[in-house]
Amino acid sequence: MSKIFRYILQSLLIFVAIPILGQEVSVSAKIDTNVILIGDQVNIKFSVTTPANYHVVFPVFIDSLSNKIEIVNQSKIDTIFSQDKSKITLNQTVIITSYDSGYYAIPSFPFQYQKKNETAINTVFSDSVFLTVNIVAVDTNIAIKDIKPTLKEPITFKELLPYLGAGVGIIVLIILTIYLIRRFNKKKSNIIILPKPKIPPYKKALQDLEALRLKKLWQNDKIKDYHSELTEILRVYFEYQFNLQALEMTSDEIIEAFEAIKNDKDLIAKLKQILMLADLVKFAKQLPLPDQHDLSLNNAIYIVKTTSVENNKENAIETTDNLKQN
* pLDDT for the residue 18: 37
**What dihedral do alpha carbons 165, 169, 175, 176 form, nearest 10°?**
150
CB-based contact 119:106 (threshold 8 Å):
no
Burial of 48 (0-12, 13-18, 19+ CB in 10 A): buried
pLDDT recorded at residue 290: 86
Mean pLDDT of 79-87: 92
Which 8-state DSSP code applies to residue 249? Answer: S
C-alpha gyration radius of the chain: 61
Q: pLDDT tens digits, residue range 145-202?
A: 677 777 777 788 777 788 888 888 899 999 989 988 888 877 655 555 555 557 899 9
Average pLDDT over residues 74-103: 93
Give the per-residue pLDDT at 160: 79
Band (50; pLDDT cuts 50, 70, 90): very high
Query: What whole-number distance in Å separates Cα of residue 197 and Cα of residue 248?
Result: 19
pLDDT band of 7, cuts 50, 70, 90: very low
Q: What is the pLDDT of residues 105-114, one digit of tens each?
A: 999 999 999 9
pLDDT reported for residue 9:
43
Q: How many Å apart are CA 233 and CA 272, to the nearest integer?
A: 15
Per-residue pLDDT at 10 exceeds 60: no
User: In this structure, are residues 96 and 62 in contact, taking their beta carbons and an 8 Å threshold?
Assistant: no
Going by pLDDT thresholds of 50, 70 and 90, the confidence category of residue 324 is very low
Per residue in 221-258, pLDDT (tens digit) is 888 999 899 999 999 999 999 888 888 999 899 999 88
How are beta strands 129-134 and 69-74 bridged, if at all? unpaired
Q: How far is CA 98 from CA 59, 116, 229, in A?
A: 21, 40, 107
Going by C-beta distance under 8 Å and a sequence separation of 6 or more, which residues neighbour residue 269?
none
Residue 33 pLDDT exceeds 60? yes
DSSP H or E segment with residue 24: none
Strand partners, 47: 28, 91
Can you give the pLDDT at residue 195?
59
Lowest model confidence (mean pLDDT) among 71-85, 102-116, 133-147, 195-209 = 133-147
Is the pLDDT reported for residue 23 higher than 90? no
What gap in Å lies between CA 131 and CA 110, rounded to an integer? 20
What does the DSSP 8-state code read for residue 218? G
Q: How confident is the model at residue 34 (pLDDT cuts 50, 70, 90)?
A: very high
Given pLDDT bands bounded at 50, 70 and 90, which one contains residue 315?
A: very low
CA torsion angle for 233, 236, 238, 239 (degrees, to 10)? 180
Those residues with Cβ within 8 angstroms of residue 218's Cβ, 6 or more apart along the chain or in another chain: 226, 227, 290, 293
CA separation for the pair 276, 262 (Å, rounded): 19
Among candidate residues 240, 215, 238, the one with its CA nearest the CA of residue 297: 215
| 86, burial (CB in 10 Å: exposed 0-12, middle 13-18, buried 19+) | exposed
Instruction: Report the chain's mean pLDDT, rounded to a whole number.
Output: 82
pLDDT at 234: 93
Q: How far apart are CA 297 and CA 303, in angstroms?
A: 10
Adjacent-strand bridge partners of 14: none
Q: How many helices (H) and strands (E) does the chain have?
A: 8, 12
Contact in structure between 209 and 297 (CB atoms under 8 Å): yes
Cβ atoms of 80 and 74 within 8 Å: the answer is no
State the pLDDT at residue 187: 63
Q: Which domains does the chain have, with CATH numbers?
A: 23-134 (2.60.40.740), 201-313 (no CATH)
Q: Over the stretch 277-311, which tens digit does the pLDDT of each residue have?
A: 888 988 878 888 888 888 989 999 999 999 886 44
Q: Which residues contact 57 (CB under 8 A, 6 or more apart)?
A: 111, 112, 113
Would you say residue 70 has pLDDT above 60? yes
Amino acid at 29: A
Among residues 56, 148, 43, 160, which one has the least CA distance to residue 111?
Answer: 56
